[in-house]
Amino acid sequence: MIEHKKTAQLYEKLYAMQTAYNTHTNITRLSSRDDFYLKHIDDSLALLPFVDAGRDAMHCVSTGVRLIDLGTGAGYPGIPLAIERPDLHVVLNDATQKKIRYLDSVITELPLSNASAVWSRAEVLNRHYEHHEQYDFVTARAVASLKDLLILASPFLHSGGQAIFMKAKNVEAEISAAKRTAAKNNLSLLDVHKYKLADMDRAIVVYGKE
């Protein structure tokens, strides 16, 4: 539940921008206010305790913490995380240029000085010197299989960094199928948190890089 007045105003502005942009460019399938808050904002903010706990575990200073959100789409979970944690630098990554144009406008208009958007395929971006092993956190929501996400995420993380993935059904089967891939990419399973979003099954899966 959003309580801070300024934060609530930012979410209302974000909803208005998303709705207006969606009239001419397909950014997201969700259109109602209820869906926006439940399936975009509330769902994204479920990651906050894990980001905060990860920062504590890594003994991160309050500034300079970097997170990249892969396949961010319309900016979730990255934008809500940037709104809620102004001292967290969030990079929004997507391979679809029209979505990056939209995200650039959101970053400018809200504004979000701690966020930026990058147009690239993740498997290309994770080899670039400005991004390779430069992040404390990698997040992704409903982008790919867990195996594929581990392969994409590991090169972005420095040693001790964490990958935090949002999943729905069959998470145990995905975790089991990804064991070898995790080990090959120097990632260890740290936590699996299952929860309900309204009547929908959700899970947050956390890996740490050795």
Over residues 2-36, the pLDDT tens digits come to 457 789 999 999 999 999 999 999 898 877 899 99
Q: What CA–CA distance (Å, rounded) separates 38 from 72?
A: 17
Distance between CA atoms of residues 67 and 77, nearest Å: 11
Task: Quote the pLDDT of residue 61.
Answer: 62
Q: Which residue ranges make up each domain of the chain?
A: 5-209
Name residues of the chain where pLDDT drops below 50.
1-2
pLDDT value, residue 168: 87
Other C-beta atoms within 10 Å of 201: how many? Answer: 13
- Rounded to the nearest 5 percent, the helix, strand and coil shares of the chain are 45, 25, 30
Which structure tokens are listed for 174?
A: 């995905």
The beta-strand segments (E) located in the chain are 65-70, 88-94, 115-119, 135-141, 157-167, 187-197, 200-209
Prediction pTM value: 0.95
> Domain 5-209 class?
alpha beta
User: How many whole angstroms from its chain centre is CA 100?
Assistant: 15
Answer yes or no: is 82 a known binding residue: no
Q: Reduced to 3 states, what is the DSSP secondary structure of residue 98? A: helix
Q: How far is CA 57 from CA 61, 112, 162, 174, in A?
A: 11, 26, 10, 26
Per-residue DSSP letter, 199: T
Q: Is 142 labelled a binding residue?
A: no
Tell me: is residue 96 an annotated ligand-binding position: yes
What is the pLDDT at residue 188?
Answer: 98
State yes or no: 8 annotated in a binding site: no
160 known ligand binder: no
